[in-house]
Amino acid sequence: MQIEKKSEVKAEISTASMPDIVFMLLIFFMVVTTFKQFDGLPVRIPDAESTQKIEAGKRDIAYIWVDKANRRMLDDQFVAIEDLSPLVYSKRTANPKLVIALKADQNAHMKSITDVQQELRKAYALRVNYSTRTK
Amino acid sequence: MLKNKRKPESEIPTSSMADIAFLLLVFFLVTTTIDQDKGVPLTLPEISEEPPQKLEKDRVLDILIANSGKIMINEQVLSQRNQLRSEVRNSLEELGRDQDGKYKKIVSIKTQAQTMYDDYIYVLDQVKMAGATKISIAEPEE
């Protein structure tokens, strides 16, 4: 009598749900990604021991660059000191959670920094973060 | 007899879907930067109409950073920069803490027009590391 052959055990991993997994990851990365829009001015930011992460999302941060030649940039454009507060004010009205990240050069003079701070106070943008590197 | 005409296939091939999705995935993986902005936070004071209230001298610790980078605490020049943190800590301890566990003393940091930003951040950093939470930024002297 002939014994029936055992059917071979299938040992394949099911790949049918692969596209679903990939799409899920894809959507995650699409949502999380914010494109870097600008490089700003070339500055060398100072070191500090008390450096901590900014408690705000990337979309709530406005960047101000100040270099040692006392040039200022707000996000992606050069600004004169007197234009700073209206621009920041409109940003702040659009987003009340606004945090200003001040990326100033180590060798910048305090005159330029305090000028910027005075303008920020006029615009009621009081949450400032001095960008530093961890020491 | 005529053969039945084969029905034209009308399906969109989906086998390459996974490949396309992978390609997009890799693109977003590469372009995503997870790096976080880091820095030293500070809240600026509001501009008020009324003149600033005068605080008693012993409630405030005055720090002045001169153009040369020299640091003065309560009008006394600090001979060595690395003493700053312990000096500030000692001064904060004098007045003790309030019920929230924060030091009562206010640290006021004043700069001059030609002071380097680096010196200012150094002082601010040391003051923060000493545990001060009430930090005020005075307007610079001309």
Nearest to A106 among B37, B41, B116 (CB): B116
pLDDT value of residue B11: 79
ipTM of the complex: 0.73
Tally of domains in chain B: 1
B-chain CB neighbours of A61 within 8 Å are 37
Residues present in chain A in total: 135
What is the C-alpha to C-alpha distance for residues A78 and A91, in angstroms, rounded to an integer?
16
| pLDDT greater than 80 at residue B31 | no
Residue B76 pairs in a beta bridge with B73
* Span B62-78, pLDDT tens digits: 888 888 888 888 888 88
Q: Mutation test of the interface with chain A: which of B32, B35, B38, choosing the one with the most A Cβ atoms within 10 A?
A: B38
In a domain, B109, yes or no: yes
CATH number at residue B80: 3.30.420.270
pLDDT value of residue B22: 83
pLDDT value of residue B141: 59
The residue segments making up the domain with residue B130 are: 57-137
This model's pTM is above 0.95: no
Mean pLDDT, chain A, as a whole number? 85
In a domain, B131, yes or no: yes
For chain A, give every domain's residue range: 47-134
In a domain, B23, yes or no: no
pLDDT value of residue B35: 65
pLDDT band of residue B81 (cuts 50, 70, 90) is: confident
* Span B115-142, pLDDT tens digits: 888 999 999 999 888 888 888 887 765 5
In a domain, B40, yes or no: no
Give how far B69 is from chain A: nearest CA, Å. 11
Tell me which residue of B3, B42, B70 sits closest to A99, measured CA to CA: B42
In a domain, B11, yes or no: no
In a domain, B41, yes or no: no
Domain A47-134, architecture per CATH: 2-Layer Sandwich (3.30)
What is the C-alpha to C-alpha distance for residues B43 and A28, in angstroms, rounded to an integer?
34
**Tokens representing residue A71 in the block:** 């040039």
**Cα-based angle B31, B33, B34 (whole degrees, multiple of 5):** 145
Give me the mean pLDDT over the A78-95 stretch.
Answer: 90
Residue A134 pairs in a beta bridge with A48
pLDDT value of residue A94: 92
Give how far B21 is from chain A: nearest CA, Å. 6
Residue A104 contacts B, CB cutoff 8 Å: yes
Q: Mutation test of the interface with chain A: which of B26, B112, B121, B139, choosing the one with the most A Cβ atoms within 10 A?
A: B121
| Beta carbons of A33 and B32 less than 8 Å apart | yes
